[in-house]
Chain A
Amino acid sequence: IAGITQAPTSQILAAGRRMTLRCTQDMRHNAMYWYRQDLGLGLRLIHYSNTAGTTGKGEVPDGYSVSRANTDDFPLTLASAVPSQTSVYFCASSGGQGGPDTQYFGPGTRLTVL
């Protein structure tokens, strides 16, 4: 069982380019999340999805979009990357059965926007 996988592991991107970070889970979890982690700020929620077909905005959604076409995949897209989006991005999932389920995190994507 792989759990949650993310791709790519790391990426250097020119400002203005479009980029999609991929996230796949094989635990049949209903809920999925995208966070960014910056030094001194901790993990901040970008977008989330409580179930396939639905998405919601987190604390820092501007400049990012997500989709949830099926249970397993939750891609995060940067339409036009800016240097302030340089960060480590973590995808997470939880059972999402209507309670405070434990979230399980993927290995992360380190993104640098120049």
Chain B
Amino acid sequence: GQNIDQPTEMTATEGAIVQINCTYQTSGFNGLFWYQQHAGEAPTFLSYNVLDGLEEKGRFSSFLSRSKGYSYLLLKELQMKDSASYLCAVTDNDYKLSFGAGTTVTVRA
């Protein structure tokens, strides 16, 4: 099975940087996904990491350390529209996803 932990809530100011950490313990690992979910909407794909290191996509970056069972999602130049829940998800040996409970980020003016 999978055990995935991420903080419940984070608050930051518009224009700032926020880092959302995710730790996992898995019986198998084939990569880690980050999804964004606005209130009342479906999750949407943000990033995928399978190798150690940093993946950058515009204002969003995701980091993975497989040996430490650790990932983070970095949101830079925060905008009001970034207020959402961010879901960390790990794929197992059968490529099924297990999700963390999600981190709700609130961006304040």
A residues apposed to B, CB below 8 Å: 33, 35, 40-45, 48, 58-59, 90, 98-108
Contact status B95-A101, CB under 8 Å: yes
Chain A nearest CB from B44 CB (Å) reads: 7
Docked-complex contact B33 and A41, CB < 8 angstroms = no
Task: Select B99's contact among A43, A48, A102, beta carbons within 8 Å.
Answer: A43
- Residues on B with C-beta less than 8 A from A107 are 41-42
Q: 3 smallest A-B Cβ distances: which pairs?
A: A105-B42, A42-B101, A43-B99
Pick the contact of A104 from B45, B48, B87, B98 — CB < 8 Å?
A: B45
Residues of B contacting A105 in the complex (Cβ-Cβ under 8 angstroms): 42-44
- In Å, the complex CA distance between A45 and B101 comes to 13
B96 in the interface (beta carbon within 8 A): yes
Chain A interface, DSSP helix/strand/loop, else mixed:
loop
> Contacts A43-B99, A45-B97 given: A100-B30 contact, CB under 8 Å?
yes
Flag whether B106 is at the interface (Cβ < 8 A).
Answer: no
Size category of the binding interface on chain B: 20 to 34
Shortest C-beta distance, B85 to chain A (Å), equals: 9
B42 touches A102 (CB 8 A): no
Q: Which residue of B lies closest to A108 (CB)?
A: B42
A48 touches B48 (CB 8 A): no
Do B101 and A103 touch across chains, with their CB atoms under 8 A apart?
A: no
Contact B100 A42 (CB under 8 A): yes
Extra 6 A-B pairs, beta carbons < 8 Å, given A43-B89, A106-B42, A107-B42: A42-B87, A43-B97, A59-B98, A102-B48, A105-B42, A105-B44
Interface of chain B residues 17 through 67 with chain A (CB within 8 A): 30-31, 33, 41-45, 48, 50
When C-beta atoms are compared, the residue in chain A nearest to B48 turns out to be: A102
Residues in A with CB closer than 8 Å to B50 are: 100
Look across to chain B and name the residue whose beta carbon is closest to the beta carbon of A3.
B42
Q: CB within 8 A of B102: which of A42, A44, A98, A100? A: A42
- Provide a sorted-by-A list of 6 A–B residue pairs whose CB atoms are within 8 angstroms: A42-B101, A58-B96, A59-B98, A90-B43, A101-B95, A106-B42
